[in-house]
Structure 1
Amino acid sequence: MRFIDLLLHDLNGVDRGKRVDLASARQVFTQGLLLPGSMFALDVPGETVQSTGLGFDEGDADRPCLPVPGTLVEVPWLDHGVAQAQITMHERDGAPFECDPRHLLARVLERFRPLGLTPVVAIELEFYLIDRELTPAGLPQPPRSPLTGRREYRTQINSMLDIDACSRVLAAIDHACHVQDVPSTTSLAEYGPGQYEVNLAHVADALTACDQAARFRRIVKCVARHHGMEATFLAKPYADMAGSGLHVHVNLVDGDGRNVFADENPLGSEVMRHAAAGMLSTMADGMAIFAPQANSWRRFRREAYVPLTADWSVNNRGAALRVPVSGAAARRLEHRVAGADANPYLVTSWVLGGILKGIEEGREPPPPVDGNLYKDGVARGEPLPAYWPAALDRFEASAFARELLGERLHRLFAEVKRAELHDFSCIVTPGEIAHLLPAL
C-alpha cells in the first residue's frame, strides 16, 4: 500500500477527509489527523454554516481525528495501492467531539448496558444507477443497458433481467463489499429503472453496522463510476418513479445472545411491544433526521409504500414500523421511514433512542393496523410532518431530540438544516417557471 484515505462521515453523510502516504499514516494512527470542526457545520454543497459557531467564531480550529479500529481496508477499485480507514473527531483533550454523529451513537449504545441488552442491527439501502450524462434539463436519466445499449424507463420489481443487465457492476459492488468487510447478502431490482437494493447482514454492534453502511455507500458510488455510470442515494431522483429508502431492522439480545423480542405471537414479546411504542411515539419528532434534504420530501407520497403516519403492522410495507415475516427466534422490527439520503448514524441513534424510551417507560403501542394504509380511516397513528419546515419546527421544539442528541448537536443540526432550507427556498427552479409562466 502507498496511500491511505482517511474518511470522516459528516452531518449529511458525505465522506470528507484526506489521502496520506504510508509514512504519514503511521503518525495518524498514533496522534490523529487534524481537521477543522467545521467539517460538521458544512451543508451539502460544502459551505460552512457560520451560525453554528464552528467557522469564523473559533477560527476554523483543527481537532484531532482518530482511526476507527477495524475499518482499515483495501480500496479494490483503485489499482495504485490505496487503502482506507474511517475516522472520528475528538476534542484536543481527547474527549469525543459532541458534533460527530458516530459519538452520539456510541453514547446511545452505552445506555443499553445497564439493561443487559445489545441491539442487533441490519441496514437496507436502496439506490439508483444513473447515466453520467444528465438530460438537457439537468435531470438524471437511467443508464444505457450494458447488454442492449438501450435506456430502460420501465419498472419491473425483482426482475432478474434487470439484475443480469447490470450484473458486472453489481458483481463488482459485491466483490468490493467482500474486500471491505461489508456483509452484503442479497441484491434485488427495485421498482424504478436502474434502482437496486442490497441487504446487509444483521450485526450485534450498531456502530459496526453503520460503519458498514457508510462504506457501502462509498463502494456503490465509486464502483459505479469505474463502470461508466453514476450512483445516487437521493431519496427521489425521479419525480414519477419510486423513491429510495434506508430501512433499519433491529432486535435486542440479552447477555446469553437470546433475542428478547422472540415470541410466537407476530407482535413479539412485551419488550418488543415497549420498543415499538417508543419508536412510534418519537417518530414525528425525528422526521428532520429521516428526511434531511429538500428532495427527501418528494418521497412521501400516497400509495408509494412510504409511511405517512406513525403506525405499525405485521408484514405490511405501507406501515412506518413493520414486523417482517419470520420465525419467533428472528422476531424484529423494521423502521421504514428514513430516505437513503439520511445519515445512518443519526437515524440509528434516533431509532435506538426511541426503543430505550419505550422500554424505560414501559410504554404500550397502539393496536397494529392492517390493509391499505392510504385509504381513509385505515391508518390510526399520528400523521408525520409532511413538509420540511414543519419537520424542523417539530425537531427544534422536541425535548426528546435535545435529550438524545445533547444541546450542542441538536442546535448544530437545526442550524445547518435551517440554512439549507433558506438557500433552497431562494432557488428559482425550471419546474416552477414552466408551471407559472404561461399564466402569470
Structure 2
Amino acid sequence: MSSDAAAEARAFLARHPEVDAIDLLISDLNGVLRGKRIGRESLEKAYTQGINLPASVYALDILGNTIEETGLGLAIGDGDRVCRPLPGTLMPTPWRRGGRQAQLLMAMEEADGTPFFAEPRRVLARRLERLAARGLTPVVAVEMEFYLVDRERGERGMIQPPCSPATGERASQSQLYSVTELDEYAAFLGEVQAAAEVQGLPLDTMLKECAPGQFEITLRHGADVLAACDAAVLLKRLIKGVAQNHGVEATFMAKPYGLEAGNGTHVHVSLLDAAGDNVFAAEAGDPLGTPALKQAIAGLLDLMPASMALFAPNLNSFRRFQPGLYVPMAPTWGFDNRSVAVRIPSGPNAARRLEHRVAGADANPYLLMAALLAGIEHGLAGELSPPAPVTGNAYEQFPPSLTNSWCQALDLLEASEPLNAALGEDFLGVFLANRRAERDQAMQHVSRLEHDWYLRHV
C-alpha cells in the first residue's frame, strides 16, 4: 500500500485526537475477530507497511487453538503473512474506554501480494467476481437475532434472561414485536444505534423477537456485499461491547435455551443487471417473480443440504433445528410465507427479492453469503426449476430432511462438486479439517444431561 493510502490514517487521527489505541482485526473461520492492538503512533505504519499475523489465524478453532490438520500451523513453520488495512473500515469504538479506542479491519495476503486463500472474505470476493462476469450485482440485507443474558447464572449454573432495566422483573414472556420491551431496553438499544451511527454501520430496524430477552437487528440493503458482511461482523462486536456496558451479555449463539427459539441470520438478496434493473422483478408484477428468480431459488434449494455445514458451523448450531421453533428443516420456498426456507417477501414488484431463512446467527457472514451466491449462480447457470411453491404451513407439509448432524453436514459439503468448485477445494480443505477437529474435541466431553440420564440408570 502506497504512502498516499496512509492519508486515511492521518485524517482519522486528526479528527479523533482522543483516540490512543487501535485494534487491527481479522475475521477468522468462525467469524471471530482476532488481531493486534497498536498505539496511535503506529497507525500510519500499519497502512504503509501492513502488520504480520501468522497464517494459522485461519486454523484456529472456537477456543483459539491451532488445528494442525489444516496445514496452516507447524507444517509451514507457523509462518507470518502480511495483513493490509481495508479502506473505509477505520472507525471509532465509542463504547470502549470512553471513546479512546478505534478499530480497523485487515486482509491477509499471500507472499506475492494476492489475497490469502483461506480468508473467508476472499472466498466471498471470488463469488462476486463470478457474478460480475455475468453482468450481475447482488443487493443484500442481513438480519441477525441475538439474546441478552443476565451475567448472574441461574439454577445449576445455567444462563437466564436479564431483569428489565425498567421494572427489575426477569423476562419470562415471548412478547414478539413488543414496543414496551423496546422502551424498557431503550438505553441499551439507543447506545447500539448511536455507536452504529458513529461507525457508519447501516443499521435499519430493531425489534423484539419471540423469546425472553431476544432481539433482532436489521442492516439496510446495499449493493456492496463485502461491506454488508463487514458490517455484520462489526455489529456483533458492537452489540456485545454495548451489552457489557449495561451489565448484561449479548450472545449470537444459535441455541442458548433448549426450549426457546434459536438465533438466526436471515439474508435478503436481489440481483441487478448491468442497467441497474432488478432481474427478479417480473414486468407483469407476478409475485413469484421472473424465471431468473425461480432459477436462483432452485439453485439454493439444490445446494441447501450440502451447505448446512456453512449455515450451522458448530455443535450448538444443530440444536436450533427442532420442530415448532420457527426454523426451516426442509428445502422449501413460497410467497410471503415464514414457514419456508426461501421466502419471497411481499412488497413492490421493483423490490422483488428472496429471503434465505436457514442459517444461524453463529454462521460466518462471509461464508454464508458466499454459499448463497454460489447457490444462486448454480441455479442460473443450470437454468434449474424449483418445485411448486408452498402455501400454508410448510412445517406440517414437509418432514425434516435437512441434516441435523454436524458430522453428516461436513460429509455432504466435502462431497458437493458445485460447492468445491465455488468455494475452492483448497479453502474447503482448511475449513473441513478445522470443523472436524473441533467436532472431535466436542465429542470428548460428557454433558451434565448424560450424567443425569444415564449414570445411575443403565
Scaled by the length of structure 2, the TM-score of the pair is 0.93
Is 1:32 equivalent to 2:50 in the alignment?
yes
The aligned residue for residue 269 of structure 1 is 290
Match of 1:324 in 2: 345
Cα distance in 2 for residues equivalent to 1:114 and 1:67: 26
SS at match of 1:239: coil
Task: Kindly report which structure 2 residues correspond to 1:215-364, keeping only aligned pairs within 5 A, or say none.
Answer: 215-263=234-282, 264-364=285-385
Q: Counterparts in 2 of 1:104-183, with a 5 A limit?
A: 104-183=123-202
What's the offset of the Cα at 1:182?
Answer: 1.1
- Secondary structure of 2:269's partner? strand
Q: Does 1:100 align with 2:119?
A: yes
Q: CA deviation at 1:256?
A: 2.5
Separation in 1, partners of 2:84, 2:166: 44
* Corresponding residue SS for 2:404: coil
1:421 corresponds to which letter in structure 2? R
1:435 to partner: Cα distance = 1.6
Shift of 1:315: 1.2
The one of 83, 87, 109 equivalent to 1:65 is 83
2:66 corresponds in structure 1 to: 48
Alignment partner of 1:395 is 2:413: yes
Report the secondary structure of 1:94's partner residue: coil
Whole-angstrom CA distance in 2 between matches of 1:248 and 1:138: 34
> After the TM superposition, which segments of 4 or more aligned residues of structure 1 sit over 6 Å from their partners?
none
When structure 1 is superposed on structure 2, of 127-136 and 426-435 the one drifting more is 127-136
In structure 1, what is the Cα distance between the partners aligned to 2:408 and 2:166? 46
Q: CA RMSD in A?
A: 1.2
Name the count of aligned residue pairs: 437
Equivalent position SS for 1:11: coil
Q: CA deviation at 1:135?
A: 2.6
Name the structure 1 match of 2:442: 424
* Uncovered stretches (5+) of structure 2, i.e. residues with no partner: 1-18
- 2: distance between equivalents of 1:303 and 1:365? 25
As a proportion of its length, which structure holds more helix? 2
1:389 is paired with a residue of what secondary structure? helix
Instruction: Report the Cα distance in structure 1 between the residues aligned to 2:63 and 2:277, rounded to whole angstroms.
Output: 45
Match among 420, 432, 435 for residue 453 of structure 2: 435
Report the Cα distance in structure 1 between the residues aligned to 2:133 and 2:309, rounded to whole angstroms: 30
Answer with 346-355 or 254-263: which moved more: 254-263
Q: 5+ residue gaps in structure 1?
A: none
* 3-state secondary structure, aligned to 1:112: helix
Partner of 2:16: none
Q: Report the 3-state secondary structure (helix = DSSP H, G, I; strand = E; otherwise coil) of the residue aligned with 2:436.
A: helix
Cα offset, 1:80, TM superposition: 5.1
The Cα shift of 1:115 comes to 1.6
The percentage of counterpart residues that share the same residue type is 47
User: TM-score, structure 1 length as denominator?
Assistant: 0.97
For residue 9 of structure 1, the aligned residue among 24, 27, 37 is 27
Deviation at 1:123, TM superposition (A): 0.5
Q: Could you tell me how far apart the structure 1 residues matched to 2:164 and 2:405 are?
A: 36
